Structure formats: structure tokens, C-alpha cells
Amino acid sequence: MKIAERIGQIKPSLTLAVDAKAKAMKKSGLDIVSFGVGEPDFDTPEHIKEAAIQALREGFTKYTPVSGIDELKEAVVFRFKEDLGLDYKANEVVVTCGGKHALYNIAQALWGPGDDVIVPAPYWVSYPPMILLAGANPIIVPTQEENGFKLTPEELKSAVTARTRAIILNSPSNPTGSVYSRKELEALGKVILEKDLTVVSDDIYDKILFDNQSFSNLAMLDSRFKERTIIVNGASKTYAMTGWRIGYLAGPAEIIKAIDMIQSHSTSNPTSIAQKASVAALMGPQDFVKQMVIEFDRRRVYIAERLKALPGVKTTLPQGAFYIFPAFSSYYGRKAGDRILKNSLDLADYLLEKALIAVVPGAAFGEESCVRFSYATSLMQIEKGMDRLEKVLREL
């Protein structure tokens, strides 16, 4: 069978490949410590599950409006106002089958052949393939570790050409945990206005912030930015609801209309009972989120200290999300048994085989010098994994 040409442009996700190998090893009886997962290790809160059960019992099991039920859109509008001070109307919101689906829809609605889209690296794995599948070109712009892996206005300016349509910003970042301050966004904003760029603001980790920081995105600066920004968020990370597949986006009415149309010919509505559960998540008590962040914070501080203490490993304390992205490049070129560790993939492979710990190679995120550790796992597991890592690195 002939597969469509555009599929040749994309590769399977490296993060899922590492995860599959780790799972196969686990299944064979090996005691793998996994730092690979991109989801909270907490269960979905009871009141959210109850809302889904009640919806099921009441027979809320039919098609809903394509872009989501009014009740959920109103809940999204409420959270934008309450948490970020942003005013949206329900017709400026689309509910999607996860944040990933929101981003995919945006790419389909906005970009096509001849369009360039700026993606600062390290980036979340799925941005470049989504841009390619829309027929557009991802323009990868490397950022510097000394700038906290955050894009500077100068870097942005020099990457923009006549074909540049948009930029994707992700703060807090997967994989680096970096967070853009309001001041940094203002500086980038000047270039964005000058070059007339659209902004996709992937805010999926906006509630997982440490050290009492407050969250900012470009739409919050003023109406000139709100008009050119599409915000992506969802229930997955904030409410430990990755499997429920509820995301949402908010932006100018014309893109909302386009995405509604795309959804009407592709997925139709997101799952009815997951939508009801998400209403409970957004409108119900938010203390679960606070408790989760307190726990992530304990793990963040611990894992950062352990990694910093390793010879040749460079890392900073992440400011948000639940990932840490240390540099291991001083180990590249070293001999490990009968092989040489050339890059992040070799190192990740070696750590999985010899230390039985699963990490994701930086190559998956466009940054070879690092590997990503997710600390969405218990402190006990983190301690065990770090002990193993320390031991194995000593042998290199």
C-alpha cells in the first residue's frame, strides 16, 4: 500500500520509543525506574470522577456540540478570568480532545505550504511534526542554556523572514521547566508586533509553577497581543486527567470558526462524559492542584540537588512543569564497555540497560547536550534512580 508522501516527513515520537523499550524491560521482570513519563502520577480527584459517573447514569452519552458543551466553555471562560484576568466569550473557545489536538487543529487552520513557523529549541516533540503535517516549515531556533533556554528578542528577530507567520511559545516548558517572566515576554512582544507574528501560547503547565511565581502569557500583556494570540490549555496536567483527553483553546473568533469546522469533519465533539468531568475540574475546589504542586516542588528540589552533585552534569532548578533537563555532554565520547557514548540517545540507551533507569534523550527535543528526567514519580523512586545513576556514571 502506498503511504501519503507527507508521512515521509515525520518520524515516530522518540519519547514514546524510549517508553516502549522501558515498558518491555519492565514486563520482562526488570525493576525499571522511569523518569520518562509526561503525566502526573496522581489519580484524578474523586469529585471529578463522580461528575463523569453521574453524567453516565443520566444518559449523557450522545453527541454534543462540536466545539464543546456550553457549560464547559463557560467554565473555561471563568478560569481565564479568575486565574489570568483575561476576558473571553464562550464563542472564542473550542474544547478539543486534549491539548495536543488543540495544537494540531491550530496548525491545520493557520498554516500551509510556504509558511514558516518559529519553534524555539528545546521544544516539545510534537510541534515540528504538526507544522510539517500542515505543509508548512518548522524553523527551529536554538536557545542558550545561559539564558535558561529562553528565546531572546535578538534570536527571534534574526530568525524572522518574509515567510514567517507565527511562533510557538511554551511556558512553563516541556522539557526545560523554564518560565518566561512578564518582562521577558514584553521584550519578545516588541519583535512580535514589529514582525506581525501570530503567537501560539501553549500554557498546558501554567498551574505547575514554583517559588510563588505568577504566570504570564503574551495575551495578558494588552489587547494588541490578545488579538494575535491563541492560548492552548487543558485538563491533562492540571487535574491529573491525561487519559480523559480534554483540552481547549481560546483566540479570535475567526480561528475559532475555522477550528470548529475542522473538528466537525474530523473528531466531532470531545467525549461527552469527559466534558462533564472537566466542568467539575474547572469549577470545583482547586486545592488538589496546590497539593500536587507542593509535592512536585519537594521532588524538584531533591532531584536538582542530586543531579547537581554529579561530576560533569550541569543543571539549573526548573521553575515550572515537572521536568528537569540537565546537560550530560561531558560524558559524550566516553567508552562504556565496548561502545562509545556518542550522543543523548546512546546515553539514554546506556542508562536504561546499565542503571535500569528510563530518561528521554535531548535529541527528541532538539537539544543533544541534555536528557530529560520527569519527576512525576515518587520521591522514593527518584532516590533509587539517582543512586543508580550516580553509580553507573562513576564507572564511565
Ligand X SMILES: Cc1ncc(COP(=O)(O)O)c(C=O)c1O
Minimum CB separation of residue 29 from ligand X in Å reads: 29
Residue 100 or 165 having the CB closest to ligand X = 100
Residue 38 or 129 having the CB closest to ligand X = 38
* Strand extents, DSSP E, 206-278: 229-234, 247-250
Which listed residue (35, 36, 38, 149) binds ligand X by CB under 6 A? 38
323-324 and 371-374 beta bridge pairing: antiparallel
Quick one: how many helices (H) and strands (E) in the chain?
Answer: 13, 14
* Strand extents, DSSP E, the chain: 33-34, 93-96, 116-121, 137-142, 164-170, 198-202, 229-234, 247-250, 323-324, 335-336, 339-340, 357-358, 360-361, 371-374
Between residue 294 and residue 353, which ones bind ligand X under the rule CB under 6 A?
none
> Rounded CA gap, 334 and 346, in Å?
11
Q: Of 2-10, 96-104, 105-113, 183-191, which segment contacts ligand X by CB under 6 A?
A: 96-104
Minimum CB separation of residue 124 from ligand X in Å reads: 4
Query: Within a 13 Å sphere around the CA of 140, how many CA atoms are in the beta-carbon half?
Result: 16
Minimum CB separation of residue 225 from ligand X in Å reads: 20
CB of 282 closer than 8 Å to CB of 47: no
Between residue 247 and residue 286, which ones bind ligand X under the rule CB under 6 A?
247
Lookup result for grid cell 523554564? 178
Binding of ligand X by 100 (CB under 6 A): yes
CB within 8 Å of 125: residues ≥ 6 apart? 13, 14, 15, 364, 365
Minimum CB separation of residue 329 from ligand X in Å reads: 24
Query: DSSP string spanning 83-96?
Result: II-----GGGEEEE
Minimum CB separation of residue 213 from ligand X in Å reads: 18
Minimum CB separation of residue 94 from ligand X in Å reads: 13
Q: How many other C-beta atoms can be found within 10 angstroms of the C-beta atom of residue 290? A: 11
Binding of ligand X by 236 (CB under 6 A): yes
Q: Of 56-64, 80-88, 93-101, 376-384, which segment contacts ligand X by CB under 6 A?
A: 93-101
Residue 174 or 198 having the CB closest to ligand X = 174
Which listed residue (98, 320, 366, 385) binds ligand X by CB under 6 A? 98
Binding of ligand X by 134 (CB under 6 A): no
Binding string to ligand X for residues 9 to 28, with x set by CB under 6 A, is what? --------------------
Between residue 41 and residue 70, which ones bind ligand X under the rule CB under 6 A?
none
Which listed residue (40, 138, 234, 326) binds ligand X by CB under 6 A? 234
Lookup result for grid cell 543533544? 368
**C-alpha cell of residue 51:** 461528575
Which listed residue (204, 273, 292, 364) binds ligand X by CB under 6 A? 204
Angle, CA of 264, 270 and 272, to the nearest 5°: 120
How many residues make contact with ligand X (CB under 6 A)? Answer: 13
Between residue 149 and residue 178, which ones bind ligand X under the rule CB under 6 A?
170, 174
Binding of ligand X by 189 (CB under 6 A): no
Per the rule left: phi > 0, alpha: psi between -120 and 50, beta: everything else, 175 is: alpha
Task: Kindly list the residues in this chain that would bind ligand X in the complex (CB under 6 A).
Answer: 38, 98-100, 124, 170, 174, 202, 204, 234, 236, 242, 247
